[in-house]
Amino acid sequence: MPGDMLDFYLSQGYYRMHQDLFTCRFLPLDGSLYTVHWLRLALADVVLGAEQRRLLRVNARFTLRSAPFRLTEEYEELYARYRASIDFDAPETVEAFTMAGHAHSVFPTEVLEVRDGERLIAVGIFDRGTRSLMGIMNFYDPAYRKYSLGKYLMLRKIELAREQGLAYYYPGYVVHQYPKFDYKLYPCPAATEVFDVASSSWLPFSWDTVAAQSADLLRDWPLPTDDPDEAD
């Protein structure tokens, strides 16, 4: 996929899943229907706060390497340990999340490896467009949980994108009134924008804006019905 084409679809609220691009507006969770709100960071506006700078300092002891993505047993072994330690649904393997059985990738995928000496402790996978970087997945060794390596990888992806003169970093979505996804706001809320479906434009992020978008999306949900049995 050409980089400028990836940029365009990201700018329209699309995102990668396996070897496809998709978008969604709703997410059914725990028997309720929630609304999805896509995010991006305007990299020129990113200013790291004290907490973010401290995390970079604490993890400066680790070695970071950027390379084209190539699926390895080392990645799968690390991901298996990570997946066994989490309390939410996740794909069974890195291959299932990225390739889903395809022999070749249509996306320009790269990886950040974090090592403690020779030991691989975290991996961050991302796609690079002409002006954008899209975060795909981060996973880490549970033994290093205290180092917040998922958040650290987000910060390092942003640093890499800024060094290369890119304009936007796309971390995925948040879900209104479902805080499990709120970590995507960690790098810099002031530089974060949220996609507005009604106008196909990006607005400065605020929870008030998200609440208003959510109300608009849910206004006609569930759809009215003339069937009295279904109405009961």
36-64: per-residue pLDDT in tens?
999 999 999 999 999 999 999 999 999 99
Q: Which of 63, 45, 43 is nearest to 128 (CA)?
A: 43
Distance of CA 19 to the CA centre of its chain: 16
Average pLDDT of the segment spanning 142-151: 98
Q: What is the pLDDT of residue 222?
A: 65
Q: How would residue 231 be classed by pLDDT, with cut points 50, 70 and 90?
A: very low
Residue 220: pLDDT band with limits 50, 70, 90: confident
Task: Please name every residue paired with 126 in a beta bridge, in sequence order, or none if there are none.
Answer: 110, 135
Q: What is the SS3 assignment for 130?
A: coil
Q: What are the tokens at 50?
A: 């004290």
CATH topology of domain 3-231: Aminopeptidase (3.40.630)
Amino acid in position 130: T
| Residues contacting residue 211 through CB under 8 Å, at least 6 positions apart | 176
Q: What is the mean pLDDT of residues 211-224?
A: 84
User: Is the separation of the CB atoms in 209 and 66 below 8 Å?
Assistant: no
Cα 216–chain centre separation: 24
Contact 161, 154 (CB under 8 A): no
Q: Shortest CA distance to 139 belongs to which of 127, 114, 151, 122?
A: 122
CA distances from 121 to 47, 62, 102, 128, 192 (A): 27, 9, 27, 23, 28
With a CB cutoff of 8 Å and minimum separation 6, the contacts of 27 are 33, 34, 35, 36, 175, 178
